[in-house]
Amino acid sequence: MNRCLHLLLLAALFGGLATTEACAQGSPGEREVDRSIVRALKFLAAQQQPSGAWQLKNASRGRDAASATSLAVMAFMAAGHVPGEGPYGDAMERGIRWVLSNQRPNDGLFQHRAGSGPMYTHGICTLMLAEVAGMVDASLSDRVRKSLEKAILLILKAQDVPKGNQHAGGWRYDASSHDSDLSVTGWQLLALRAAKNIGCDVPAEAIEYAVSYVNKCADRNGGFSYQAGHGVSPTRTGTGILCLEICGEHHAPATMAGADYLLRRPLRYNDSFFFYGVYYSTVGMFQVGGRHWEETRNNVTTLLLTRQHPDGSWNPTDGSEASFGPIYATSMSVLALAVEYQYLPIYQR
C-alpha cells in the first residue's frame, strides 16, 4: 500500500485536511522529501499575486501567467491540498478562478501573452481544470465543467487540422498549426486523458490518434525525440513514456525501450529543459514501476533536494528555462517529488 494512501482516504472523507505535513511517518529519506515539499508550498503561497495569479519570471516580457498559475494549483493538489479547504484552499480557489477568467469566450483558448506558444498554456490550463473538476465546491463546479468542455473542444479541433503523415495526430504551438511536436502534444494528451477520466466527451479515436503520433517520435534504439526523426533526449523520452503509459500502452515495446534508455542516460541537472524533464521523466517512470522507477526516483530526488534554495524554491539557471523563473521550476519539482502520494488523479497507476 502507498505510504500515504490512508491520508488520501482521509482527504476524501474530511475535505483535504490530511496533507503533506502529516506524511512524516515514513523513512528518513521520505521525511526529507516531505519537508522539501512543505517548504516549496510555503514559497509558492507567498508568491501569489493579489489577483490570484502566479507569474512566470518574465510575464511582463512575453511570458504568460495562466500556465504558471495552473502549475502552482496542481502542485498544491499533488501534495494533498484541496481547493476551498485547509491552509492553502483559498489560494488554490483564487488561482482557479483567475485561470477561468482568462479563457476567451469565442473559442475557449486560455489567454497567453505574445511570445509564447498558446497551446502550451492551453494544455496546462486544461489539465489543471480536469484535475480539480471533482474537487471544487458547487459554486465553482459548473463553471469549471463548462470551461473544461470549451477547452477540450479546441484541443480536438486543433488535432484535426490537416497535417502530413509525419505530424498527424499531434499538436504544435498554435491551434491552427499544420505540424506537431512531442512537447506540445504531451500537454494536450494529458489534458484529454484527465478529462476523459472524469467523464468528459473525449472520443477514444482522438486518444488513439495522439498515441499514433507519440509512437512516430519513438526511436528504434530507445528514447523519444521532439519530432519524428530528430535526435532523442531524456526530457522528450520522459514525455513519450508518460503519454503511452496513461493511455493504456503499459509496458509497450516503445515504452520499455524508452525506460531502458533513461536508465542508460538518466536526467542530469545541466540537461536542456531540466525541470520539464523532471516532471515527465518522474511521473512516466513511476507508471512503469519496478527498477526503472526506483533508479529514477533516487536520481531525481538527489538532484532536486541538493538544489533547493533555503526559501523552498528552485530557480532554473540553464538557458533553456532561465526565463521561466522559480514559480515554474518549484511547481514542476513538487509535481515530481509528490508523485508517490498519488493525490493527483493523473498519477494513479
pLDDT at 59 over 70: no
What distance in Å separates the CA atoms of residue 119 and residue 26, rounded to the nearest whole number? 39
Name the average pLDDT for the chain: 90
Is the CA virtual torsion 24, 310, 266, 71 positive or negative?
A: positive
Domains of the chain: 25-347 (1.50.10.20)
Confidence of residue 319 (pLDDT cuts 50, 70, 90): confident
pLDDT at 17 over 60: no
Q: What is the pLDDT of residue 15?
A: 39
Instruction: Give strand pairing partners of 184.
Output: none
Q: What is the pLDDT of residue 58?
A: 59
What is the three-class DSSP state of 77? helix
Q: What is the pLDDT of residue 158?
A: 98
pLDDT digits (tens, 9 = 90+) for 262-289: 999 999 998 999 999 999 999 999 999 9
Task: Give residue for cell 500502452.
Answer: 249
Across 140-154, average pLDDT: 97
pLDDT digits (tens, 9 = 90+) for 2-16: 434 434 443 443 334
Task: Work out the number of other CB atoms within 10 angstroms of the CB of residue 63.
Answer: 22
Q: What is the pLDDT of residue 56?
A: 82
Rg of the chain's alpha carbons, rounded to an integer?
18
- Of 130-134, 191-195, 317-321, the least confident: 317-321
Element (H, E) at 225: strand 224-225
What distance in Å separates the CA atoms of residue 216 and residue 212, rounded to the nearest whole number? 6
What is the three-class DSSP state of 208? helix
Across 232-261, average pLDDT: 97
Q: What is the pLDDT of residue 115?
A: 55
- Phi first, then psi: give them for residue 34, nearest 5 degrees: -60, -45
pLDDT digits (tens, 9 = 90+) for 68-77: 999 999 999 9
What distance in Å separates the CA atoms of residue 221 and residue 86, rounded to the nearest whole number? 48
What is the pTM for the complete model shown? 0.91
Q: Three-state SS string across 108-157, please? A: CCECCCCCCCHHHHHHHHHHHHHHHCCCCCHHHHHHHHHHHHHHHHHHHH
As a whole-number percent, the residues of the chain with pLDDT over 90 amount to 81
What is the three-class DSSP state of 178? coil
pLDDT at 247 over 60: yes
What distance in Å separates the CA atoms of residue 10 and residue 16, rounded to the nearest whole number? 7
pLDDT at 21 over 60: no
- Of 8-12, 101-105, 166-170, the least confident: 8-12
pLDDT at 27 over 90: no
As a whole-number percent, the residues of the chain with pLDDT over 70 amount to 89
pLDDT at 151 over 80: yes
**Single-letter residue type at 334:** V
User: Which are the contacts of 134, defined by CB distance < 8 A and separation ≥ 6?
Assistant: 198, 345
Give the CA count within 13 Å in the CB-facing half-sphere of 214.
Answer: 32
